[in-house]
Copies of this chain bind each other. A is one copy, B any other.
Amino acid sequence: MPTTTALPPSVLISEVGPRDGLQSVSRTMPTAAKLAWIDALHGAGLREIEVCSFVPAKLLPQMADAAEVVRHALGKPGLTVMALVPNLRGAEAALAAGVHKLTLPVSASAAHSLANVRKTREQMIEEIRNIAALRDERAPGVKIEAGISTAFGCTIQGAVAEDDVIWMAEQAIAAGADESGLSDTTGMANPAQVQRLFKRLRAALGEHAGAAHMHNTRGLGLANCLAAYEAGVRTFDASQGGLGGCPYAPGASGNVVTEDLVFMFESMGVDTGVDLGRLAAGRAALANGLPGEPLYGMTPEAGLTKGFVYANGRRPATERLLAPLAP
């Protein structure tokens, strides 16, 4: 009789760098460099990537090549190709391009919703309803994710009522979204709050409860991801090199760094499917595509720990994690 080996627990790391990261940078990464970066991310084992946003090129020239980027990413086996859409018009373009998953940010803060998208929260829920109707008509297999932004606090209105956060998530699912996660847009979350709110979200939404999108503004990114994991979350947004996520200040990276997050989970024995050695090629591709852009992350500099073993039992070829940059 064959021995049954228990699989290690696992998480999905959803890489948001090519959208969230590049959108925060004022320069535009050349299309070829974006494609090389996405290739490297996929090659390292990432299986969900937010590759672009569908927004007017006049507003965000960084994303003018969205359809081309999607077309390329669709050729990667096993990859869920995700795009951010702010509204129905963006959703129409994204569905036409053939994405697998749409992500739509809806704010739990009334003040932030008006300031950010000039719509009330109720109008954003209505937008989800319209997008879901369009999806049902044109591409019923496409998933819709509603990310509840400012879920842990708002720089305009301060505290955001937890009831408001859960209410928005419930409304988003009722309007046709498949999943709803929580975003620490402003870097205000703390681990106790993260645990409390994700437990409530999971109790309210069940299988529709979505990803944790944490920022590292005050250094708490990984601690907040750990708290979310302990509350049962199994999908985590992160950005290679910590690119993007509205950093407040020099040195204060915004998004959680993919490399550090993967290292944390793998060293805990939680499988991410990601190879940190191969991820180094992504970091080099990113650095080559945006020369001089500051990249964050401690693990790439420090390397793997002596004797490191991945959660699935693999041993790394080397403890070094920095690939040489292209000449």
Contact = CB atoms under 8 A, between A and B. Distances in A.
Q: Which of A153, A158, A220 has the most CB of B within 10 A?
A: A220
Interface in A216-241: 216-220, 222-223, 225-227
Given A154-B306, A158-B307, A226-B226, A299 B218 contact: yes
A31 interface: no
B188 A223 contact: no
Interface string A137-169: 000000000000000011110110000000000
A190 B267 contact: yes
Given A191-B268, A251-B301, A257-B219, A158 B227 contact: no
Interface residues of A, number: 45
A297 B301 CA distance: 17
Contact of A153 (B218, B222, B225, B307): B307
Contacts of A220: 222, 260, 263-264, 267
Nearest to A268: B192
A292 to B, nearest CB: 15
B158 A306 contact: yes
Nearest to A261: B219
Nearest to A226: B223
A159 B171 CA distance: 49
A223 B223 CA distance: 4
Nearest to A157: B306
B222 A302 contact: no
A187 interface: yes
Contacts of A291: none
Give 5 nearest A-B pairs by CB, closest first.
Answer: A158-B307, A190-B267, A219-B298, A249-B301, A219-B260
16 contacts: A156-B306, A188-B305, A191-B268, A192-B267, A192-B268, A217-B298, A218-B263, A219-B257, A219-B260, A219-B263, A219-B264, A219-B297, A219-B298, A219-B299, A220-B222, A248-B301
Interface of A: 153-156, 158-159, 186-188, 190-193, 216-220, 222-223, 225-227, 248-253, 257, 260, 263-264, 267-269, 297-299, 301-303, 305-307
Given A190-B267, A226-B226, 9 more contacts: A153-B305, A188-B305, A190-B264, A191-B264, A218-B264, A218-B299, A218-B305, A219-B299, A252-B298
